[in-house]
Amino acid sequence: MKDFRLYAITGEQFHPGRALLEVMEEAIAGGVEIIQLRDKDSSREEVLRKARALRELTRKHGVTFIVNDYIDIALEVDADGIHLGQDDLSLQEARKLVGDKIIGISTHAIEEALVAEEQGADYIGVGPVFATKTKVDVVDPVTVAYVQEVASRIRIPFVAIGGIKLSNVDEVIAAGATRICAVSEIVGSADVAGTCRAFLSKLEGRE
Q: What is the pLDDT along the chain (207 residues), one digit of tens a residue?
A: 889 999 999 999 999 999 999 999 999 999 999 999 999 999 999 999 999 999 999 999 999 999 999 999 999 999 999 999 999 999 999 999 999 999 999 999 999 999 999 999 999 999 999 988 766 666 789 999 999 999 999 999 999 999 999 999 999 999 999 999 999 999 999 999 999 999 999 999 876
Residues labelled catalytic: 38, 106, 135
| Three-state DSSP state, 152 | helix
Q: Look at the pTM and tell me if it is higher than 0.85.
A: yes
- Name residues whose C-beta falls within 8 Å of residue 55's C-beta, 6 or more positions apart in sequence: 65, 77, 78, 79
d(CA 46, CA 17): 17
d(CA 135, CA 125): 14
According to DSSP, the residues that pair with 126 across neighbouring strands are 107, 160
For position 138, what pLDDT does the model report?
60
For position 132, what pLDDT does the model report?
82
For position 2, what pLDDT does the model report?
86
Q: Cα angle at 106 between 190 and 124, to 5 degrees?
A: 90
- Determine contact, residues 199/27, Cβ cutoff 8 Å: no
- Determine contact, residues 32/7, Cβ cutoff 8 Å: yes
